[in-house]
Amino acid sequence: MKLLAGLLALILALPAVASEATPAAASHSAISDEEVPGSIIPRYLLQDPYGRPVSTEDFHGRFQLIAFGYTYCPDICPTTLVEMAEILKALGSKASRLQVIFITVDPERDTGKVLKTYTEFFDPRILGLTGSPQLVRRAADNFRIRYAKVQEPGASAGPYAVDHSAGMILLGPDGHVIRKFAFATPVAELSQRIGAYISER
């Protein structure tokens, strides 16, 4: 019920995003828990909503929970952000040791201002990052995230969706990958596992 209420509230509160015409919903590739974390290069150099450079090193000593997506995403991304907000709430005081990050795969539309409005709606502690198309692509490649524009057949311009990998990636205080969580992993399980990792370190 909380998830449904959150999604409904998003539609009502952000009409500019929710009402944007997009092609038929693009498919999303789930991140698998079984994928080898060592295949990821946990590194990014992007910009925060105010245009300041942000890199993995800025959060040394803290855990990072990272998801890739975009603000015009009709379903997967708002669901993921609702889950991230629920995780922060469930962690209580432990949440101070976790930085939650949402990296756009649609830098052409997701400016810093747009990202800030979007992420703060779910929880002010969620940090939205963007950058040039080249820097976003490099970050996605490092994290083994696939994404591509999807437009209606025959359309040369106009509204588009972005097909992208779904899921969350947890980095430890040393910046190394701890685990990749597949999309639709229950929030209670995510909170329990992340809380346990924080308690262990």
> What pTM, to 2 d.p., does this model score?
0.82
Secondary structure (3-state) at 136 = helix
Chunked into runs of 10 residues, the chain (201 residues) has average pLDDT values of 43 36 42 57 96 96 97 94 98 97 97 97 98 97 94 75 94 95 95 96 84
Beta bridge partners of 162: 149
| Helix/strand number for the chain, H first, E second | 6, 9
In the block, residue with structure tokens 């002010």: 124
Residue 82 one-letter amino acid: V
Nearest to 56 by CA among 35, 69, 66, 42: 42
DSSP character for 107?
Answer: T
Cβ neighbours for 74, distance < 8 A, ≥ 6 positions apart: 22, 25, 161
C-alpha distance across the termini of the chain, in Å: 33
Rounded Cα–Cα distance for residues 74 and 76 (Å): 7
User: pLDDT at position 159, please?
Assistant: 84
User: pLDDT at position 183, please?
Assistant: 92
Domains defined for the chain, CATH in brackets: 46-200 (3.40.30.10)
Q: Per the structure block, which two tokens stand in for 151?
A: 């437009």
